């Protein structure tokens, strides 16, 4: 493997089509596509300032690096990438990728990040300003993830999330086969139009959660007082610990709950309109 150490590059495509390359302490200044069409790349302790850093790269490891605000839209169209202990201070990273592992990353601007990626592992990652993160992803495993950003995981499929804190309005819209364990989810309009969304020992905050859902399952979940008007037009099987402020027009299923402030069943309920609501005394 060729070693490039403590050097600086800039402009367009300075390391285009390189293979079997290790970068140590390298700075990539403003420019475009520094490592495009590459393979078997290692970058350790590097700083990336230009955009489109690693596009179309098969097999890469990035450790202890920094992507500055100018390094927007980095890491696209690549396979089998591992990124660890890295600061990502630029939006729109990681798109159209297959095989992505992210460990101990901090995103300070995660806008429109991780779109249309497959086979993704995320561990001990923090992301802020993460609007539309994980859109159209398929096959994602997440552990200990802290997110601040709205519209997350829209149109995503086959997702597993554990031990995470998600502050995110309109999360999990139009998702399919998503399971969330032991996490806190705060945000309005959670899980609308989802299919096979399963929440296990989760704490839920925000108005009108879990409406228009099919195959919805909740196991031993709890609700904040502001999580009102839940389950409208949903097919739901749920066990809820403690109180929920209000339940409105669930379409079908069975809800067991400690207590309910208000159950709203009005003329607008949709067929079959036979959801059973009872109390776990």
Share of the chain above pLDDT 90, in %: 99
- What are the structure tokens assigned to 240, written together? 């809820």
| Per-chain mean pLDDT for the chain | 97
User: For residue 244, what pLDDT is reported?
Assistant: 98
Q: Which tokens hold the place of 57? A: 């790269």
User: What distances in angstroms separate CA 220 from CA 127, 199, 201, 280, one per listed residue?
Assistant: 27, 9, 5, 11
The pLDDT assigned to 270 comes to 94
CA angle (82, 85, 88) in 5-degree steps: 85
281 pLDDT above the threshold of 70: no
What is the pLDDT at residue 6?
97
Which residues on adjacent β-strands are paired with residue 117?
Answer: none
CA distance 168 to 190: 8
Q: How far apart are CA 115 and CA 212, in angstroms?
A: 24
Q: What are the tens digits of pLDDT across the range 98-129?
A: 999 999 999 999 999 999 999 999 999 999 99
Quick one: tokens of 46? 């590097």
Residue 147 · residue 129 · CB < 8 Å:
no
Other beta carbons within 10 Å of 90: 25
Q: DSSP letters of 202-254? A: -EEESSS-S-S-BSEEEEEEEE-TT--SBTTT-EEEEEEEEEEEEEE---EEE
Closest CA to 274 of 246, 257, 253, 248: 253
Model confidence over 194-226: pLDDT tens digits? 999 999 999 999 999 999 999 999 999 999 999
At residue 280 the predicted structure's pLDDT band, cuts being 50, 70 and 90, is: confident
How far is the C-alpha of 123 from the C-alpha of 141, rounded, in Å? 8
The pLDDT > 70 percentage for the chain reads 100
Q: Give the pLDDT of residue 200.
A: 98
b/e map 115-142, b = 16+ CB within 10 Å: bbbbbbebbbbbbeebbbbbbbbbbbeb
Q: Is the pLDDT of residue 67 over 80?
A: yes
Instruction: Give the domain ranges of the chain.
Output: 1-82, 83-279
Tell me the CATH number for domain 1-82.
Answer: 2.160.20
Q: What is the DSSP string of 83-126?
A: EES-EE-SSS-SBS-EEEEEES-EES--TT-SBS-EEEEEEEEE
Mean pLDDT of 233-260: 98
Which of 124, 116, 169, 167 minimizes the C-alpha distance to 142? 124
Which pair of structure tokens corresponds to residue 121? 């592992």
* pTM for this model (two decimals): 0.96
Express each pLDDT in 69-93 by its tens digit: 999 999 999 999 999 999 999 999 9
* pLDDT greater than 60 at residue 22: yes
Instruction: Tell whether omega for the bond before 272 is within 30 degrees of 0, i.e. cis.
Output: yes
Rounded mean pLDDT of 44-59? Answer: 97
Of 212, 214, 211, 183, which is closest to residue 199 (Cα–Cα)? 183
């Amino acid at each position: 493997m060729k070693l490039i150490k403590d050097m600086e590059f800039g402009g367009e495509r300075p390391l285009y089509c390189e293979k079997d390359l290790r970068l140590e302490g390298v700075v990539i200044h403003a420019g475009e596509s520094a490592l495009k069409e590459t393979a078997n790349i290692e970058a350790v302790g590097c700083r990336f300032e230009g955009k489109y850093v690693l596009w179309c790269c098969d097999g890469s490891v990035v450790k202890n690096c920094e992507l500055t605000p100018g390094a927007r839209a980095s890491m696209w169209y690549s396979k089998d990438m591992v990124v660890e202990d890295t600061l990502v201070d630029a939006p729109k990273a990681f798109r159209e990728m297959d095989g992505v592992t992210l460990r101990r990353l901090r995103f300070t601007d995660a806008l429109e990040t991780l779109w249309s990626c497959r086979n993704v592992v995320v561990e001990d990652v923090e992301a802020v300003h993460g609007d539309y993160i994980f859109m159209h992803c398929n096959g994602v495993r997440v552990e200990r993830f802290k997110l601040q950003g709205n519209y997350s995981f829209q149109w995503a499929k086959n997702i597993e999330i554990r031990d995470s804190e998600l502050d995110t309005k309109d999360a999990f819209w139009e998702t399919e086969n998503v399971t969330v364990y032991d996490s806190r989810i705060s945000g309005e309009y959670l899980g609308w139009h989802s299919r096979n969304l399963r929440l296990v020992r989760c704490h839920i905050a925000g108005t009108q959660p879990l409406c228009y859902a099919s195959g919805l399952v909740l196991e031993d979940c709890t609700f904040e007082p502001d999580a009102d008007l839940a389950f409208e037009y949903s097919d739901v099987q749920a066990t809820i610990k403690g109180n929920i402020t209000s339940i409105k027009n669930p379409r079908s299923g069975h809800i067991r709950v400690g207590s309910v402030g208000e159950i709203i069943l009005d003329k607008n309920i949709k067929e079959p309109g036979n959801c059973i609501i009872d109390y776990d005394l």
